[in-house]
């Protein structure tokens, strides 16, 4: 049995426990395996162990990996996206883009999806902590962007994503996760978008995130091991 398989079992057990503790069904939470910086062989091992959703943070790297792996895989783009990469991104049919963080990017995706005759599922990334080093919209910018998005018929805004500052104690991330949930609830109410998806929680804080309402956890290190470089 591959070490990936036992890593996956451990992560699964943690997700299951967090769901049980917060009275949520396991199906509420989608595991996105973050495969960035790992070679294709390692992703194939992950696929053989049963992982079906892979998250990559660089467009170029994802485009190289995609044709090498089974088409049953769903690819998620989780990293910062520049508007000049929008064409290949829409073309390669990522099943979810987690990282829309500006009006310019939103409009570029809408235009390109329209030209390619697609509807692209996306999340809006919000910087709830205000930490300067993180990408993401300010919480105040969310409502105006959602208003703009009502005219985007080639995008499906499924929800919100956040990445809190790293803290040794995962419990310290809880207020940031809760803030995203509260922001989502308010935005839902004001905009009429359903916004069911909350993408939050990574290797060390996924249980806290699930307790605070995460529907998607993005797990790299605890599945694939420590990344080089
Ligand atoms: C790398 C990355 C992750 C995974 O982080 P781990 O701590 O390795 O689980 C999750 N989300 C985003 C946006 C990332 O860039």
Mean pLDDT by 10 residues, the chain (229 residues): 89 98 98 98 97 98 98 97 97 96 98 98 96 90 97 98 96 98 97 96 98 98 90
The CATH class for the domain spanning 3-224 reads: alpha beta
Residue 84 Cα to ligand 1 midpoint, Å, equals 23
Strand partners, 161: 125, 199
pLDDT at 186: 97
pLDDT at 88: 97
pLDDT at 110: 98
Residue 133 Cα to ligand 1 midpoint, Å, equals 15
Q: Count the alpha carbons within 13 Å of 197 in the hemisphere toward its beta carbon.
A: 24
Secondary-structure percent of the chain, ordered helix, strand, coil, rounded to 5: 50, 15, 35
pLDDT at 229: 64
Closest-CA residue, ligand 1 atom 11, reads: 218
Q: Domain limits of the chain?
A: 3-224
Phi, psi of 116 (to 5 degrees): -90, 5
In the three-class reduction of DSSP (H, G, I as helix; E, B as strand; rest coil), residue 37 is classed as coil
pLDDT at 1: 55
| CA 99 remoteness from chain centre | 7
Strand partners, 54: 33, 75
pLDDT at 133: 77
- The verdict on the CB of residue 202 being under 6 Å from ligand 1 is yes
């Amino acid at each position: 049995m591959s070490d990936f398989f036992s890593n996956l079992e451990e992560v699964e057990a943690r997700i299951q426990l967090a769901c049980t503790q917060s009275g949520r069904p396991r199906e509420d939470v989608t595991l996105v395996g973050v495969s960035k910086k790992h070679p294709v062989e390692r992703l194939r091992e992950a696929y053989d162990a049963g992982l079906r959703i892979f998250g990559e943070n660089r467009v170029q790297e994802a485009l190289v990996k995609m044709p090498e792996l089974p088409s049953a895989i769903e690819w998620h783009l989780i990293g910062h996206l520049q508007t000049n990469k929008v064409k290949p991104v829409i073309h390669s049919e990522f099943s979810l883009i987690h990282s829309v963080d500006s009006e310019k990017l939103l409009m570029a995706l809408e235009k390109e999806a329209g030209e390619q005759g697609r509807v692209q599922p996306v999340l809006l990334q919000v910087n709830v902590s205000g930490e300067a080093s993180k990408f993401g919209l300010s919480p105040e910018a969310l409502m105006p962007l959602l208003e703009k998005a009502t005219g985007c018929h080639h995008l499906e805004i499924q929800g919100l994503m956040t990445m809190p500052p790293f803290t040794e104690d995962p419990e310290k991330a809880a207020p940031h996760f809760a803030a995203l949930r509260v922001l989502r609830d308010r935005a839902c109410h004001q905009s009429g978008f359903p916004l069911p998806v909350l993408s939050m929680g990574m290797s060390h804080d996924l249980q806290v995130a699930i307790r605070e309402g995460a529907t998607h956890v993005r797990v790299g290190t605890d599945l694939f091991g420590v990344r080089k470089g």
